[in-house]
């Protein structure tokens, strides 16, 4: 806000300097035409030099303030969007491609809004008022003409703006769809290549590209046509003022110095209002991106604040022998309903896990097994229920500090296998990393082996074993004492699965796992069947 106020103050001072410039020029021209001498230039030239120097400094200061304001807002929005996304990482929308487009190219377009459009919007009120008062004190007739013609520009500007806004929103949707299409295509290219369908995707990509190009050209067409309309209105308005002044000068109703003063200032009245329309097109993309950013932020806030009434039970615990004194984890009355759904995916679910136990959550696909883990991790905000660790109710941050987590699709960073394992405990030694890999994967994974973007170079089974090794390292050398696994043995053969389960059993740690595999369920001390 302070940058905006400072920018408006700079613009207002610039308007005062414009009045001084018009006064100096009109005085010089009037004196030269009336006296046929150049003596007045000794006063006018230094004045004009001072005015031009002041306007140059103010123009630089205005740009600096505008860029600072834009950078501050973009930085805050990016932090808020990332915080909202991290607060709800299980949310499928927006996609990674859409999020990257929004946080980079999308929010960068806010430069036009905060550095040009918003300051100009305020200057469109202050500058015409300042210059209009100067005209009014010099020539009432010209001031009346300006007051009558000036509102026509905002009127036509609003009509053009509504069309531009609709077009820009449509173009942003097309651009986001193109980004998502391209990202999905690149991610699935190996599979498409295997089945010989890679070249067939080129046509779909060409269609998305053509749609994006068409919407962009349509937006630019409206932008150019609107600029023509606004320039024509401003030119006609100034022409009316000029014609009126010309007739009155001819009939000696107005002196030449005043005529020049009003003629020089008249375009400056319309310029700030006209520039609002011009800069609106610079701001349109940024406003569309900002709407998407606010939608993500507000959705996360609504999910955090919202609550729903429980519906009919859809889950029941099996093999429960409550012993609160020995329970490391106790989940009571857990109810989760996703936005837009009238039926909870989990309703009044209870689970108790004692220290050192292996608790397995199982059930058919879609009954809420992963959702239960996401609620435990704090990725999903439950509508009801409590989580107790060692008999104390905890928030998501406290639970995550004590949990080592392995997801269905574990995240990987570019680097080596050792780099990815060391995420579980950054201070771990190379020997600690090797021991964790040995427990999770035997001797099959080399710690120095390279890992590409998003785990490129690792199979699905290898990714899970690296993730398990990372969790084992966090349990062995970090603060975690609860291991939470989502399908940890999927993609593993029976021998590897048995070896991994033996290794986990030897850790002497409490484990909560989701699994369909009979071998995992057979090892369980406690089973929760959802259905």
Residue 362 pairs with which residues in a beta bridge? 529
With pLDDT > 90 as the criterion, what percentage of the chain qualifies?
9
Give the model's pLDDT for residue 316.
36
Give the model's pLDDT for residue 324.
45
**Is residue 387 classed as helix, strand or coil in its secondary structure?**
strand
d(Cα 137, Cα 335) in Å, to the nearest integer? 72
Residue 510 pairs with which residues in a beta bridge? 482
Give the model's pLDDT for residue 311.
34
d(Cα 401, Cα 474) in Å, to the nearest integer? 10
Q: Which of 7-21, 22-36, 187-201 has the lowest mean pLDDT?
A: 187-201
What integer is the mean pLDDT of 193-209? 75
pTM, to two decimals: 0.58
Residue 306 per-residue DSSP state: -
Give the model's pLDDT for residue 306.
46
Strand 415-416 versus strand 450-451 pairing type = antiparallel
Q: Label residue 309 by pLDDT band (50, 70, 90).
A: very low
pLDDT (tens digit, 9 = 90+) per residue, 63-73? Answer: 888 888 888 88
Give the model's pLDDT for residue 312.
33
Please tell me which residue, 509 or 188, carries the higher pLDDT value: 509
Give the model's pLDDT for residue 94.
67
pLDDT (tens digit, 9 = 90+) per residue, 244-284? Answer: 998 988 888 888 889 999 999 999 888 888 787 777 766 76
Please tell me which residue, 132 or 158, carries the higher pLDDT value: 132
91-95, 162-166, 175-179, 293-297 — which one is most confidently predicted on average? Answer: 293-297
Q: Label residue 313 by pLDDT band (50, 70, 90).
A: very low
Please tell me which residue, 312 or 516, carries the higher pLDDT value: 516
**CB contact at 8 A, 368 and 486:** no
pLDDT (tens digit, 9 = 90+) per residue, 408-462? Answer: 888 888 899 999 999 988 888 999 999 888 888 776 788 888 988 778 888 878 8
Give the model's pLDDT for residue 52.
92
pLDDT (tens digit, 9 = 90+) per residue, 118-132? Answer: 778 778 888 888 998
Give the model's pLDDT for residue 54.
92
With pLDDT > 70 as the criterion, what percentage of the chain qualifies?
91
pLDDT (tens digit, 9 = 90+) per residue, 494-519? Answer: 888 888 888 888 887 899 999 888 88
Q: Label residue 323 by pLDDT band (50, 70, 90).
A: very low
User: For every residue of 451-473, which 3-state class applies, written as one string?
Assistant: ECHHHCCCCHHHHHHHHHHHHHH
DSSP alpha helices (H): ranges in 188-255? 189-194, 201-250
Q: Label residue 320 by pLDDT band (50, 70, 90).
A: very low
Q: Round the average pLDDT of the chain to a whole number and report it.
A: 81
**Burial call 321-358: b when 16+ CB within 10 Å, e when fewer:** eeeeeebbbbbeebbbbbeeeeebbbbbbbbbbbeebb
Task: Please check the confidence at residue 57 and state whether its pLDDT lies above 90.
Answer: yes
Q: Label residue 308 by pLDDT band (50, 70, 90).
A: very low
Please tell me which residue, 139 or 215, carries the higher pLDDT value: 139
What integer is the mean pLDDT of 378-397? 86
């Amino acid at each position: 806000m302070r940058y905006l106020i400072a920018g408006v103050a700079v613009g207002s001072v610039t308007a005062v300097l414009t009045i001084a410039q018009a006064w100096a020029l009109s005085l010089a021209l009037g004196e030269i035409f009336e006296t046929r001498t150049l003596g007045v230039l000794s006063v006018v030239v230094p004045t004009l030099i001072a005015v031009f120097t002041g306007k140059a400094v103010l123009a630089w200061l205005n740009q600096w303030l505008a860029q600072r304001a834009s950078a501050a807002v973009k930085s805050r929005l990016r932090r808020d969007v990332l915080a909202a996304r991290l607060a709800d990482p299980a949310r499928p929308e927006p996609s990674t491609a859409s999020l990257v487009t929004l946080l980079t190219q999308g929010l960068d377009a806010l430069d036009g809004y905060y550095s040009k459009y918003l300051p100009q919007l305020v200057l469109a009120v202050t500058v015409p008022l300042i210059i209009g008062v100067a005209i009014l004190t010099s020539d009432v007739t010209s001031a009346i003409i300006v007051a009558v013609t000036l509102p026509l520009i905002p009127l036509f500007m609003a009509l053009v703006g509504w069309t531009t806004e609709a077009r820009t929103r449509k173009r942003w949707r097309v651009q986001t769809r193109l980004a998502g299409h391209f990202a999905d295509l690149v991610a699935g290219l190996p599979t498409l290549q295997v089945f010989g369908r890679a070249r067939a995707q080129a046509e779909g990509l060409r269609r998305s590209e053509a749609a994006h190009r068409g919407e962009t050209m349509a937006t630019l067409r409206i932008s150019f046509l609107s600029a023509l309309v606004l320039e024509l209105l401003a030119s006609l308005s100034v022409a009316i003022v000029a014609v009126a002044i010309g007739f009155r000068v001819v009939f000696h109703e107005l002196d030449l110095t005043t005529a020049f003063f009003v003629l020089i200032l008249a375009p400056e009245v319309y310029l700030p209002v006209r520039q609002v329309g011009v800069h609106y097109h610079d701001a349109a993309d940024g406003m569309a991106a900002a709407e998407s950013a606010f939608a993500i932020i507000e959705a996360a806030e609504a999910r955090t604040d919202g609550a729903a009434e429980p519906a009919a039970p859809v889950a029941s615990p099996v093999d429960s022998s409550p012993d609160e004194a020995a329970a490391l984890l106790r989940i009571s009355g857990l109810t989760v309903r996703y936005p837009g759904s009238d039926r909870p995916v989990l309703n009044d679910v209870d689970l108790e896990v004692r220290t050192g136990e292996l608790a397995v959550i199982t059930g058919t696909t879609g009954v809420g097994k992963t959702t239960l883990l996401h609620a435990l991790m704090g990725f999903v905000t439950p509508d009801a229920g409590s989580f107790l660790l060692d008999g104390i109710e905890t928030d998501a941050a406290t639970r995550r500090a004590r949990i080592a987590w392995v997801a269905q699709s574990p995240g990987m960073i570019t680097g080596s296998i050792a780099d990815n394992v060391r995420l579980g405990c950054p201070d771990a030694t190379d020997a600690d990393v090797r021991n964790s890999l040995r427990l999770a994967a035997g001797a099959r994974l080399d710690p120095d082996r390279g890992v590409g973007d998003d785990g490129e170079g690792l199979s699905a089974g290898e990714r899970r074993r690296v993730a398990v090794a990372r969790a084992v390292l966090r349990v062995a050398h970090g603060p975690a004492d609860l291991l939470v696994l989502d399908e940890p043995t999927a993609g593993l053969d029976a021998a590897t699965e048995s070896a991994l389960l033996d290794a986990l059993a030897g850790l002497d740690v409490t484990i909560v796992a989701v699994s369909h595999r009979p071998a995992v369920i057979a090892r369980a001390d406690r089973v929760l069947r959802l259905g």
